[in-house]
Amino acid sequence: MEEESKSKGWWQTLPGVLTAVAAIITAVAGLIIALHQAGILGGGGKPTSTEQGSPSQGKVEQPRPEAKPTATEEKPRPAAEPAAEAGAAPDLFVSEFSLNPSPPVQGRPVSVRIGVYNRGKAASGPFTVQWWPGENFPAAACTWRIDGLAARGGRVLTGTYEGYRSWYAKLVTKSVVDSSGEVPESNEANNVYRQTIRVARP
For the chain, which domains are there? 92-199 (2.60.40.10)
Residue 73 has pLDDT above 50, yes or no: no
For residue 164, what pLDDT band results from cuts at 50, 70 and 90?
A: very high
User: What was the pLDDT predicted at 49?
Assistant: 43
d(C-alpha 125, C-alpha 52), whole Å: 82
Let me know: does 92 contact 191? Beta carbons within 8 Å: yes
Let me know: does 128 contact 182? Beta carbons within 8 Å: yes
Per DSSP, 71 falls in state P
- Spatial CB neighbours of 32, under 8 Å, sequence gap ≥ 6: 41
Q: Which residue has the higher pLDDT, 45 or 144?
A: 144
| pTM for the full predicted model | 0.58
User: What was the pLDDT predicted at 94?
Assistant: 98
Q: Left if phi > 0, otherwise alpha if psi is -120 to 50, otherwise beta: which for 148?
A: left
User: What tens digit of pLDDT does each residue of 102-124 get?
Assistant: 999 999 999 999 999 999 999 99
Residue 92 phi, psi (nearest 5): -95, 140
Strands (E), the chain: 92-100, 110-118, 127-132, 142-146, 153-161, 168-177, 192-199
Residue 101 phi, psi (nearest 5): -75, 165
